[in-house]
Amino acid sequence: MYARRRHAYFFLMGACLTLFISAWAFVRLWSVPAAVAMCIVAMVIPPVAAIVANRRGPQDRWWDESGDEESDRWWRELDDHYHRH
């Protein structure tokens, strides 16, 4: 899961750089409004890439799961006790 998110992040950031560099390297020679539009699209991509890269997948552990069965069981017991009262 982590590798897939990392690949998606690098793909999106590569697309962002490609749009930005091509907009001002050669697209501006034919159409400045098109170059500006490409930069606006490129501006939106980094936050989307960050969201994609940090999204928790169904197989990912939560931040409060240590991976230690004994510790996780103990914390679940405490949570259950707290929520019952």
Domain ranges for the chain, please list them.
1-57
CB 35 within 8 A of CB 28: yes
**pLDDT by residue for the chain (85 residues), tens digit each?**
678 888 999 999 999 999 999 999 999 999 999 999 999 999 999 999 999 988 877 666 565 666 677 877 877 787 776 666 5
The pTM score is 0.65
- Residue 64: the pLDDT is 60
CB atoms closer than 10 angstroms to residue 66? 11
- Residue 9: the pLDDT is 94
